[in-house]
Amino acid sequence: MALGAVALYARTVGFGWVYDDQLDVVRNTFVQSFTYLPQMFTTTAWTGAEAENYLYRPLVLLSYAVNYQLSALAAWSYHLTNILVHAGVSVLVVRVGRLWGLSATAAGLGGLLFAVHPVHVEAVAAVFGRKDGLMALFTLAMVLLHRKALARGRWFAVLPVVAYACAMLSKEAGIVGLALVALLDWRLGPDRGRLIRSQRAGGLYLAYLITFLVYLLVRTTVAGGIGVAETSYLDNPLVAAAPAARFGTALAVIGRGVALLAVPLTLSPDYSFDAIPVVQSVFDLRFLTTVAFLSLLGWAFAVPRFRRSVVALGILWYAITLFPTSNLLMLVGTIFAERLLYLPSVAFCLLVATGLVWVAERRRPAALAAAVALVAALSVQTLRYSSAWRDDISLFRWAVASVPHSTKAHHKLGEELLRAGHLGEAIRELERALAIAPENQYAAATLAVAEQRIAERYGPSTGAGDDPPTDPNVLAVLAQRSGDRGDLALAEAQFTAALAADSLHPRSLAGLGAIALLQSDTARALRYLERAAAQDLAPASAWFNLGRVHLARGEAPQAVWALRRFVVLAGPRYPQQVEWANRTLAALGDR
């Protein structure tokens, strides 16, 4: 299992820093010296990067500090450590399978499926994913050491308690360790009454409880509370959802996680607004499917034979490990992330392996072929997806292809393209981010920087010097600036040049429509603006001017529709126009 995990992820050793690696390691001064050891345990995770948050992961910071002593900010040792942690977890999955009573074949196959499953790529290929790997490593170690401590006592009793503390100090979800050992004691113990009366077991559980309470006290003192503070709806849309919508969406997301484990095709590093739309109706297919699935499980648990089966044990493991990050009890920092499935997937992989072995006992050739095909397919997808994590541009290109309605994915890709000097592509992605979430002020600020870079590079002229622009996004920015200076002829020429490169370019169509409206040519303005509004990325200005044209033509219903769309898309960037639109809508009787 370990060699399989290492071989599959070996090439990630040569990868660089991506996404949150900057705040976790690169800009975090606390990882650069062991003299910061007290600060690691008394501040939140990004304090060393001068970015306050609610995360308390001192053991992860300590592991980064060890890496820093080995390779400074050369990323290879950090990636190698992640691979070794994943290999260790894969081995422990086999041991957990044996603890469940699975055969060596089923447990081994379960460990192999865990080692190669592509849903784990984020936790392994990204340095910042280490928190999930370490948390799982120590949680599984606690589960296994607990059984030894019950059997042998003495100093063995210290080991699972230390593992429990390490799991929580790696990531908050490590608190589930106590529930997992209780589950296994209750399900696998030969004599529950004897377990309850056992002083050794009582002492262990008391030690776990004290460790848990001390952790909560320390974390509350350092992070200012237990829950998530000031999470933006752009990161977790459930922050702004009504209670019923929040609960329904959280259930739907549970279903999405199970589906992703079963068929890991549309993987993504980001699921922020609006990658997973909030459930607004009980008739939402995602909600109905999940409720039907959970109802089926509830019916199965009513059968005594099923409750005693390893399948029931696996389902309970999955539920316990997923619950803290499910948004059912309290909101977390994200609506969903693949790394959150790292520990729950232990149960999934072991149950799938159990099913394949069960079939093998009846139809050996078919089951063997299925197992080989499954491992091969998962490995290929892991290799494909892990390649996206080599740099930020590759990562966010993958993200926008997988979740095209995520504002953060488009914003981050635009940000990285801007940093790489790809101005036209950056403009396009940033405009897409704002079309999805007009309130995304980070994307708006980055777009302003990109437009300023274009203005500085090409100046107030047509840009027909040594390096004339040909990208329609660049031409449209230059045309907008020309229009702002009052040079409508130049603006019209630049917008027209942009349309020559892309006949459906929304910003250029909207710009030509605005110029025609200024020239009182409402018929021509209407043609351009209707073409602009028909595009998925139609700018808010197109709808605003379209509403004005319909008003001028006395077409009130069409004006109402256009101004409504403008108000939705405008966000905070057009306050005066939004105020005018709202007054106009009120005057037209639209409430």
Over residues 267-325, the pLDDT tens digits come to 999 999 999 999 999 999 999 999 999 999 999 998 989 988 999 999 999 999 999 99
DSSP state of 330: S
Amino acid 172 reads E
88: pLDDT strictly greater than 70: yes
CA gap 19, 29 in Å, rounded: 18
Section 337-356 average pLDDT: 96
* Measured CA angle at 164 (ends 156, 115), to 5 deg: 100
pLDDT of amino acid 229? 63
Residue 245's pLDDT is 94
Residue 151, pLDDT score: 82
Query: For residue range 278-291, what is the model confidence (pLDDT) as tens digits?
Result: 999 999 999 999 99
Q: Mean pLDDT across the stretch 357-384?
A: 87
Give the span between the Cα atoms of 395 and 26, in whole angstroms: 18
**Does the pLDDT at position 72 exceed 70?**
yes
- Which of 16, 39, 12, 29 has its CA nearest to residue 64? 29
Question: For the segment 53-65, what is each residue's pLDDT rounded down to a tens digit?
Answer: 788 999 999 999 9
Q: What is the pLDDT of residues 547-557, one digit of tens each?
A: 999 998 889 99
**C-alpha closest to that of 403 among 535, 271, 255:** 271
Contacts of 80 (CB under 8 A, 6+ apart): 13
Cα-based angle 106, 112, 114 (whole degrees, multiple of 5): 105
Average pLDDT, the chain: 91
Task: Please report where in the chains the tokens 């898309």 appear, as a residue.
Answer: 569
User: Is residue 192 predicted with pLDDT exceeding 80?
Assistant: no
CA distance 526 to 400: 32
Number of helical (H) and strand (E) elements in the chain, helices listed first: 29, 0
Q: Could you tell me the two tokens for 232?
A: 């933006």
Give dist(CA 312, CA 300) in Å, integer: 9
Provide the pLDDT confidence category of residue 194 given band limits of 50, 70 and 90. Answer: low
pLDDT digits (tens, 9 = 90+) for 462-499: 444 456 788 999 999 999 999 988 999 999 999 999 99
Say what the pLDDT of residue 376 is. 94
- What distance in Å separates the CA atoms of residue 199 and residue 390, rounded to the nearest whole number? 52
How far, rounded to the nearest angstrom, does the alpha carbon of residue 525 sit from its chain's CA centroid? 42
What is the mean pLDDT of the segment spanning 349-353?
Answer: 96
Tens digit of each residue's pLDDT (9 = 90 or more) over 408-447: 999 999 999 999 999 999 999 999 999 899 999 999 999 9
Region 104-132 average pLDDT? 96
Q: pLDDT tier at 223 (50, 70, 90 boundaries)?
A: confident
With 60 as the cut, is the pLDDT of residue 591 above it?
Answer: no
DSSP line for 215-263: HHHHHHHHHSSSS--S--TTT-GGGGS-HHHHHHHHHHHHHHHHHHHHS
Q: Tell me what pLDDT residue 202 has.
A: 86
Q: How far apart are CA 25 and CA 42, in angstroms?
A: 17
pLDDT at residue 464, rounded to an integer? 46
- To which residue do tokens 């072991």 refer? 350
Tokens 């504002």, located at residue? 407
Tokens for 78?
């950090």
What pLDDT digit, counting tens, does each position of 520-573 carry?
A: 899 999 999 999 999 888 889 999 999 999 998 889 999 999 999 999 888 888
